[in-house]
Amino acid sequence: MNDYSPERIADRMQIQDTMYRWCRSVDRLDFEAMRKCFHPEALDHHGAFDGNVDGLVDWITNRHRGIPFSMHAVSNLLIEFAGPDLALVETYVRTTQRYPADAAQALAQLAGGKAPEGATDLLTCSRYVDRFERRAGEWKILSRTLVADWKQVVPVAANAPQAVPGWESGQRNQNDFIFRERRALGIA
């Protein structure tokens, strides 16, 4: 099959959309949407976590409980087809997360076991290396390994900018503006 036929381009777009949905689901703590990115028996090797999808969602639920801000930005999606329904996908991911002082232990999991003092921002450059499989016309992750390339922790200054009253601010729940807009437009 031609890797750039209209059918393969549609496959590429479905895989790309899955990656974007993954980022939104983690950043908005949409646990059901997280699960929908993976096949039920999928495995995730995330450094501090290694296991199945339900375990991954539980780990994220607990680790992110005290994190008020998280943003995953993906780029450089390189999709290589290994067959009609199997693909190897390498995706660059940059994350920025804010850890208040009381969430330092959650950050310690990703920082080699050492909990920083005070509020901290974590900046990372990593790659997702995923095996995607198409079943019943739908591409989902069958296995994922997070390859950590670079991390930096930055203390949050006491005078760091705060949310401006009256401006729309991101929320890590179903009240975030994107979900309100989706409901208003009838998008499930």
Q: What is the residue range of 109's domain?
A: 6-158
Rounded-to-integer distance, Cα 32 and Cα 36, Å = 6
Q: Is residue 125 part of a domain?
A: yes
User: What does the pLDDT read at residue 115?
Assistant: 79
Q: Is residue 170 part of a domain?
A: no
Q: What is the CATH number of the domain that holds 45?
A: 3.10.450.50
Q: Provide the domain count of the chain.
A: 1
Q: Is residue 167 part of a domain?
A: no
Beta-bridge partner residues of 151: 124
Q: Is residue 69 part of a domain?
A: yes
Q: Is residue 65 part of a domain?
A: yes
The SS3 of residue 148 is strand
User: What does the pLDDT read at residue 108?
Assistant: 86
Q: With a threshold of 0.75, does the pTM exceed it?
A: yes
Which residue ranges in the chain fall short of pLDDT 70? none
User: What does the pLDDT read at residue 111?
Assistant: 76
Q: Is residue 175 part of a domain?
A: no
On whether the CB atoms of residues 26 and 71 are closer than 8 A, the answer is no
Rounded-to-integer distance, Cα 113 and Cα 48, Å = 10
31 class by beta-carbon count within 10 Å (0-12 exposed, 13-18 middle, 19+ buried): middle
User: What does the pLDDT read at residue 107?
Assistant: 87
pLDDT digits (tens, 9 = 90+) for 47-90: 999 999 999 999 999 999 999 999 999 999 999 999 999 999 99
Q: Is residue 88 part of a domain?
A: yes
